[in-house]
Amino acid sequence: MKPSPLDYVRATSVDHAIELLASDNDARLLAGGQSLMPVLNLRLGAPELVVDIGRIDELRSLEFADGDVPATRGVLRIGAAMTQTEVATHPDVNGRWPMLVAAIAQIGHPQIRNRGTVCGSLAHNDPQAELPAVAVALGATMIARSVRGERSLSADDMFHGAFTTALEADEMITAVEFPEPSPEQGWSFREFSRQPGDFATAGVAAVVRRNAGSIESRLVVFGLGGGPTRATLIEEALLNAAGPDLESSVIEQWAATLDPVDDAHTSARSKIRHAQRLLVEAVAEAWERM
């Protein structure tokens, strides 16, 4: 199939792009196109204007900045036109943000990662996508701009449900910032899919850290139908835990809060079973890395 008739404009700057967004509430941004083009071709969306931001130089940036405290930690700032492959293959990202690299490796196939952008995946917020879950687990911050100015959105506040975010219709993500993991932090990223390259049936991004005698964690589940979701019951159970072994009653109590739906490939019950198994495995692996 082909898209409905539309106007295509290649933006020459961020200011140009946000002016175009402000002129049409139904305008859509095109960066890598790996999320937008299927929507257009299947006519699941029919915007009258598509704004291409893929060749804006100021968005093709990968920057490393010093953090506030401790001084050894930094911040990775990824511009909106940087592809997933460009991010994952950068040697500094490989050495300092291993969960982000591990998650990108699970996205589709190389052809998709070569075109798809990190910020595009965050803005699209497919419930089966890896990067929104990683953003929540690592405490990322999205930088959004419109003609009204610039604002920061924490990952906890960004994702509101399947394909829904806190972005206004005239806003675009210009960059995302990932704080550098602390040396005391363990991590794990696990997902299950029917075969390599498929969307995840279920997945978990886990971060575990010791802090003043307690165990702090950020455990994020995805693929169940509602976007990235914190497993807060499990996080609370780990606070005073002596080890990574989770009681079956806690796992069952947490699973009872999930409400996935059947799809063409997997039943809701199977999704819950996969999520339970992956969560237990992810907590154990993150604990070992701590």
Quote the radius of gyration of the chain (alpha carbons, Å): 19
Q: What is the pLDDT of residues 34-79, one digit of tens each?
A: 888 888 787 878 888 999 999 999 999 999 987 554 444 799 999 9
Both 64 and 151 in one domain: the answer is yes
8 A C-beta contact, residue 150 and residue 173: no
How many helices (H) and strands (E) the chain has is answered by 12, 14
- How many angstroms separate the CA atoms of 14 and 259, rounded? 39
| Per-residue pLDDT at 70 | 41
Both 70 and 43 in one domain: the answer is no
| Per-residue pLDDT at 1 | 67
Please, which residues have CB within 8 angstroms of residue 93's CB and are 6 or more apart in sequence? 62, 76, 87, 100, 101
Q: Is residue 209 classed as helix, strand or coil in its secondary structure?
A: strand
Both 71 and 44 in one domain: the answer is no
- Domain with residue 266: its CATH number is 3.30.390.50
SS3 content of the chain, % helix, strand, coil (to 5): 35, 25, 40
Evaluate whether residue 94 is within a structural domain. Answer: yes
Q: How many domains in the chain? A: 3
Evaluate whether residue 1 is within a structural domain. Answer: no
- How many angstroms separate the CA atoms of 271 and 205, rounded? 16
Both 189 and 285 in one domain: the answer is yes
Domain boundary among 179, 205, 228: 179
Give the H/E segment covering residue 9. strand 7-10
Range of the domain at 46: 7-52
CA-to-CA dists, residue 211 to 43, 155, 198, 286, angstroms: 50, 22, 37, 15
Evaluate whether residue 15 is within a structural domain. Answer: yes
| Per-residue pLDDT at 112 | 95
Domain boundary among 15, 31, 52: 52
Pairing of strands 149-154, 141-146: antiparallel
Evaluate whether residue 272 is within a structural domain. Answer: yes
Tokens read off for 236: 């609370």
Low-confidence ranges of the chain (pLDDT < 50): 69-72
- How many angstroms separate the CA atoms of 92 and 71, rounded? 17
Q: What is the pLDDT of residues 119-145, one digit of tens each?
A: 999 999 999 999 999 999 999 999 999
pTM for the model stands at 0.94
Both 62 and 162 in one domain: the answer is yes
- How many angstroms separate the CA atoms of 144 and 35, rounded? 19
| Per-residue pLDDT at 69 | 42
Both 64 and 174 in one domain: the answer is yes
CA geometry: angle at 187 spanning 154 and 183, to 5°? 90
